[in-house]
Amino acid sequence: MSDPSVPVVPQGVEELDIIGVRNGAFGAVDGGDTSGFGGLVDPIVLPAPAQRPFGGWFDEVSDELELALQAHGLPVTEAIEKVVIHRDEITYHVRREHLVAFTTLLRDEPGLRFEMCLGVNGVHYPGEEGRELHAVYHFLSITHNRRVRVEVSMPDGDAVIPSIVAVYPTCDWHERETWDFFGIVFEGHPALTRIMMPDDWPGHPQRKDYPLGGIPVEFNGGTIPPPDQRRSYN
Amino acid sequence: MSTDNVTFTSAESSDSYAGSYDTTEGRVYSVSGGDWDTISGAPEGEQDRIVVNMGPQHPSTHGVLRLILEIDGETVTEARAGIGYLHTGIEKNMEFRSWVQGVTFVTRMDYLTPMFNETAYCLAIEKALDVTDQIPERASVIRVMMMELNRISSHLVALATGGMELGALTAMEFGFRERELVLDIFEMVSGLRMNSAYVRPGGVAQDLPADGEQKIRDTIPLLRKRLKDTADLLVDNAIWMGRTVDVGYLDLAGCMALGITGPVLRATGLPHDLRKTQPYCGYENYEFDVITKTSADVYGRFLIRIEEMEQSLRIVEQALDKLVPGPVMIEDKKIAWPAQLSIGSDGQGNSPEHIKEIMSESMEALIHHFKLVTEGFRVPAGQIYSAVESPKGELGCHIVSSGGTRPYRVHFRDPSFTNLQSVAVMSEGSMISDVIAAVASIDPVMGGVDR
């Protein structure tokens, strides 16, 4: 038996961001998998966190951010969970309690000056325990011609994050949309009501546990099931 | 109860709103109104508060947009926009279709700018696949050409519907007539006037037809002449200026705070255009000007649209010159759509050569076709944000992949959605008629707003 005091993951090795597991060659759940790869177990891993140096202007922005955070008495590691760089796009995973301070710095610091927020969008990872819901923000700096992404994660049972409408008023409708579709509560939003769905709609349709719905379509003598019940190859 | 027993009680006949009396012809009812004071029951001190719902079915609201206006006489004291009446769940539906099938969904979002929706989506997929630099030159040139033609048709609808809403019906007729020229090109190239699903991951669905290049070349002079006619009709028109100058004011600070992009932002004097600042599809190789005005009003946005159409024609001409023969789909057979389209006796479908190959010549080709069409290609896990400068502003596409053959999540940051938030700040304190002008200058398309 392994000694519980010895960590299973050696020092310096980042934990993988696993959001799910795929089985078989096609991910089909109905019918047999005759490909010979039916026993395949394939974890779905999101891009791993990046280590310094990030390269390009990413270091510049990160330095500015760290200095600004420290100047406001916020240790960097406390505010920023991790940094992911994928396909030349940088993502700061920010802890939710520091989101407002973080975005205020993004907007105000001369070296950052992300004047424009392009809204918030939710992503639901039911397989990522304790961090099921993510809110993803995109920012554009017209001054420096740069883009960054900020991601905040929260558990499903406590889907509350602070609103940044006071910092970026454009997020008003975006946060309402994210509340409507994912059930993420933006604390401090001036009027967090549904925006797309009717006011009395039950549930939050973009969540993964919300069914797509639909009816079978009869065409040319055959019947085609609704899209979420067709055979899929994911 | 038999009918001859029916009698009218005195209470009914003395109804103050629906009285009745007997004549030799029978009983006559007269329905008259009452005094609001006696029937409305409005609370004290609130008699003057009037809230008007404009829309969601109203000819001046660009589709199913609902404007909730609190008015004091003719003055709007509070304006709110209600949206969601055209929500179709496109983003959710895309999670149940392959990456390629998604193109047919996004093209229907902002139905006046299908090429931009498709390009933003395909650029995101290509970036996620890390094949951006493998897209053939000819495909990029065709994309640019189609997008710029689309910009003209979208701006023409903005002018046409905006003109109609302000009473300039000739502008509407001109606008829709000229748009037809562009739609004819779309039909010739993609087979469809709207919702064309022409731009595909890896390139475009089909090469231009043999005489396509020449037909586009022939259309440009006519389009240029007619665009000038439309401009002449309105640019110095005293009535038009009376309705638009200094109306719907929104300055740079307001635009930044509200995330406004596109002509509304450029009307404040900021030359922000993603085609220049963050070029995609090879826009850095084209010569064109970013049009700005400093009036920050409806008239300025109108002038920007007029002049941008001229710049788009410039780009289309350059694109035509850049067209060199070559593939229009990526080399990589694991991504490239295997079939080509042609027109048969039963309509548009896969070309006979391709059908012959997969059905009677090569079993491997059939397997390949089947796998790619039904299963699709896999996109590495991760997330991508790609943005294009649509006629309305920054059109962003955020895709999340879990490494599968279907999108894990697709979200479009539609410029109309964000820009509509400025209705309140543009129209509060103005006349009701100016609300119409302000909304028209934002040019929202509800298909894109609600998705």
B166: closest CA among B69, B265, B68, B302?
Answer: B302
Question: CB B87 to CB A197 under 8 A?
Answer: yes
Q: Which residue of B has its CA nearest to A91?
A: B383
Region of poorest pLDDT, from A41-50, A146-155, B17-26: B17-26
Give pLDDT < 50 ranges for chain B: 1-13
The confidence score (pLDDT) of residue B355 equals: 86
Instruction: Name the pLDDT band for A10 (thresholds 50, 70, 90).
Output: low
The confidence score (pLDDT) of residue B63 equals: 76
- Chain A partners of B85 at a C-beta cutoff of 8 Å? none
Question: For residue B105, how far is the Cα from the chain centroid?
Answer: 14
Inform me whether the C-beta atom of residue B400 falls under 8 Å from chain A C-beta atoms: yes
- Chain A partners of B130 at a C-beta cutoff of 8 Å? 87
Q: Each residue of B202-253: pLDDT tens digit?
A: 999 888 988 999 999 999 999 999 999 888 888 888 888 988 998 989 999 9
Q: Indicate the residue of B385, B400, B420 with minimum beta-carbon distance to A138.
A: B385
Task: Find the mean pLDDT for residues A39-57.
Answer: 83
- Chain A partners of B273 at a C-beta cutoff of 8 Å? none
Question: CB B277 to CB A227 under 8 A?
Answer: no
Mean pLDDT of chain A: 85
- Chain B partners of A27 at a C-beta cutoff of 8 Å? 404
B212: closest CA among B200, B198, B225, B201?
Answer: B198
Mutate to test the interface with A, among B411, B423, B449 (most CBs of A within 10 A): B411
The confidence score (pLDDT) of residue B45 equals: 59
Dump the DSSP string for B8-29: --HHHHT-SSEEEEEETTEEEE
Q: Where are the alpha helices (DSSP H) in B166-237?
A: 169-190, 212-234
- Contacts by B43-49 with C-beta closer than 8 Å and gap 24+? B48/B72
The confidence score (pLDDT) of residue B3 equals: 44
Work out whether the CA dihedral B420, B425, B431, B434 comes out positive or negative: negative
Question: CB A124 to CB B83 under 8 A?
Answer: no
Alpha carbon of A9: minimum distance to chain B alpha carbons (Å): 23
The confidence score (pLDDT) of residue A36 equals: 75
C-alpha A40/C-alpha A33 separation (Å) is 10
Q: Indicate the residue of B396, B409, B421 with minimum beta-carbon distance to A123.
A: B409
Q: Report helix, strand or coil for B314.
A: helix
Residue A8 has pLDDT above 60, yes or no: no
Q: Indicate the residue of B261, B384, B413 with minimum beta-carbon distance to A89.
A: B384
Domain A57-187 grouped into CATH 3.30.460.80: yes
Q: Indicate the residue of A22, A26, A170 with minimum beta-carbon distance to B257.
A: A170
- Chain B partners of A174 at a C-beta cutoff of 8 Å? 418
The encoded tokens of residue B235 equal: 């640019």
Q: Indicate the residue of B84, B257, B405 with minimum beta-carbon distance to A195.
A: B84
C-alpha B161/C-alpha B168 separation (Å) is 9
Phi-psi region of B184 (alpha: psi -120 to 50; beta: other; left: phi over 0): alpha
C-alpha A42/C-alpha B87 separation (Å) is 36
Q: Which helix (H) or strand (E) holds B282?
A: none
The confidence score (pLDDT) of residue A13 equals: 55
Q: Within a 13 Å sphere around the CA of B412, how many CA atoms are in the beta-carbon half?
A: 34
Mutate to test the interface with B, among A41, A84, A88, A173 (most CBs of B within 10 A): A173
Question: CB B405 to CB A116 under 8 A?
Answer: no
Mutate to test the interface with A, among B256, B373, B386, B401 (most CBs of A within 10 A): B256
A26: closest CA among B444, B98, B431, B148?
Answer: B98
Q: Indicate the residue of A46, A142, A212 with minimum beta-carbon distance to B93.
A: A212
Question: CB B404 to CB A46 under 8 A?
Answer: no
Pairing of strands A41-46, A17-23: antiparallel
The confidence score (pLDDT) of residue B48 equals: 66
ipTM for the predicted complex: 0.87
The confidence score (pLDDT) of residue B403 equals: 85
Question: CB A22 to CB B404 under 8 A?
Answer: yes
Domain residue limits, chain A: 1-48, 57-187
The confidence score (pLDDT) of residue A117 equals: 93
Pairing of strands A146-154, B66-72: unpaired
Q: Which residue of A has its CA nearest to B409?
A: A123
Q: Within a 13 Å sphere around the CA of B236, how many CA atoms are in the beta-carbon half?
A: 3
Residue A217 φ/ψ, nearest 5 degrees = -110, 125
Dump the DSSP string for chain A: ---TTS-SSPTTPPPPEEEEEEETTT---SS--TTS-TT-EEEEEEPPBP-S---THHHHHHHHHHHHHHHTT--HHHHEEEEEEETTEEEEEE-GGGHHHHHHHHHH-TTT---EEEEEEEEE-TTSTT--EEEEEEEEETTTTEEEEEEEEE-GGG-EEE--TTT-TTHHHHHHHHHHHH--EEET-TT---SSS-TT--S-TTSTTS------EEETTEEE--GGGS----
C-alpha B241/C-alpha B236 separation (Å) is 7
Q: Which amino acid is at B309?
A: M
Q: Which helix (H) or strand (E) holds B284?
A: none
Question: CB B404 to CB A19 under 8 A?
Answer: no
Using alpha carbons only, give the angle B88, B90, B92 rounded to the nearest 5 degrees: 110
Residue A35 has pLDDT above 80, yes or no: no
Residue A33 has pLDDT above 90, yes or no: no
